[in-house]
């Protein structure tokens, strides 16, 4: 479970969708006697492009529902009797108006000791900003403002759609190469086991190439964090955004940092990693983001 929590909910959902598409297509094409078409390159390229992009957009449309389900997010009503929660909704809506969003995001809260928040949803008109109980307990009002404005900036920048388009391209290449590899491997196997081997290699290839492609997706994810930080500074203030990141750095510098949430690619922070693991980081190091804000390098 720890592994699943660290690869990001959007990426995890996308992998599951792509694998499901691959399995269904393998069964249907075999049943209809179309399996041989998989070796026809133009057809294969078209199939992978359509279903690769389709899989990414299915993940996008499921993103808000999946986030609520995985985290147990409870939506907060604007008229909630709790003044702290009501103020949270008002703050998000205030930043959303400054960002000129066409519709106010849903605002939710979820139980977690982790100091974090995330924004998700298929469009600017259908979005969600959720914060952890740990964030509300351990951040002051100024720091919370920076976090909320950062998440609203993700929505205003259309980050989920951009990431979906990139993920769709990665999916298309992953599906294409996994089927080419499956064909090459199956061609060298006894005919009796050929289709079983082709099927197994295809599914394993879908998973492996999609995960490998997440290096590209995560690179763009790191770049969008700088834009969201700039937006957070614009919609709240530079001081609030810097204060939020400094608080996160002080927490994540502890010997045993809090556990990362399942929606790492959407959240405001995840801790720095060394070596090859840096390629899979969804966020730049906090000190780099703080320096960029302080120097105005957006």
Q: How far apart are CA 189 and CA 182, in angstroms?
A: 11
Strands (E), the chain: 74-75, 106-110, 117-123, 126-132
SS3 75: strand
154 in a known ligand binding site:
yes
3-state secondary structure 91-130: HHHHHHHHCCCCCCCEEEEECCCCCCEEEEEEECCEEEEE
225 in a known ligand binding site:
yes
Q: How far apart are CA 212 and CA 199, in angstroms?
A: 20
Two tokens, residue 184: 């090459």
Residue 151 is a catalytic residue = yes
Q: How far apart are CA 1 and CA 212, in angstroms?
A: 20
283 in a known ligand binding site:
no
Q: What is the DSSP code (8-state) at residue 264?
A: G
Among 151, 195, 259, 287, the active-site one is: 151
Q: φ and ψ at 72, to 5 degrees?
A: 70, 40
What amino acid positions are annotated as catalytic residues? 151
- Per the annotation, binding residues for Zn(2+) are 150, 154, 225
């Amino acid at each position: 479970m720890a592994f699943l929590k660290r690869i990001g909910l959007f990426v995890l959902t996308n992998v599951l969708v792509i694998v499901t598409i691959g399995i269904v297509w393998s069964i249907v094409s075999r049943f209809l006697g179309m399996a041989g078409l998989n070796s026809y390159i133009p057809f294969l390229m078209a199939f992978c492009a359509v279903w690769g992009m389709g899989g990414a957009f299915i993940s996008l449309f499921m993103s808000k529902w999946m986030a609520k389900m995985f985290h147990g997010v409870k939506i907060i009503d604007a008229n909630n009797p709790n003044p702290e929660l009501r103020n949270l909704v008002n703050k998000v809506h205030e930043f959303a108006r400054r960002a000129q969003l066409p519709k106010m995001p849903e605002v939710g809260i979820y139980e977690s000791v982790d100091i974090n928040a995330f924004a998700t949803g298929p469009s600017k008109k259908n979005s969600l900003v959720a914060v952890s109980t740990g964030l509300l307990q351990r951040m002051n009002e100024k720091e919370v403002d920076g976090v909320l404005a950062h998440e609203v900036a993700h929505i205003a920048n259309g980050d989920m759609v951009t990431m979906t388009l990139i993920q769709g391209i990665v999916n298309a290449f992953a599906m294409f190469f996994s089927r080419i590899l499956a064909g090459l491997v199956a061609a060298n196997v006894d005919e009796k086991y050929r289709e079983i081997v082709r099927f197994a290699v295809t599914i394993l290839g879908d998973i492996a190439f999609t995960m490998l492609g997440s290096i590209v997706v995560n690179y763009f994810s790191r770049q969008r964090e700088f834009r969201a930080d700039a937006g957070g500074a614009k919609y709240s203030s530079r001081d609030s955004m810097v204060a939020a990141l400094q608080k996160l750095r002080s927490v994540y510098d502890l010997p045993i940092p809090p556990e990362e949430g399942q929606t790492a690619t959407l959240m405001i922070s995840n801790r720095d990693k060394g070596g090859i693991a840096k390629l899979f980081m969804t966020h730049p190091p906090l000190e780099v983001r703080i320096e960029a804000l302080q120097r105005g390098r957006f």
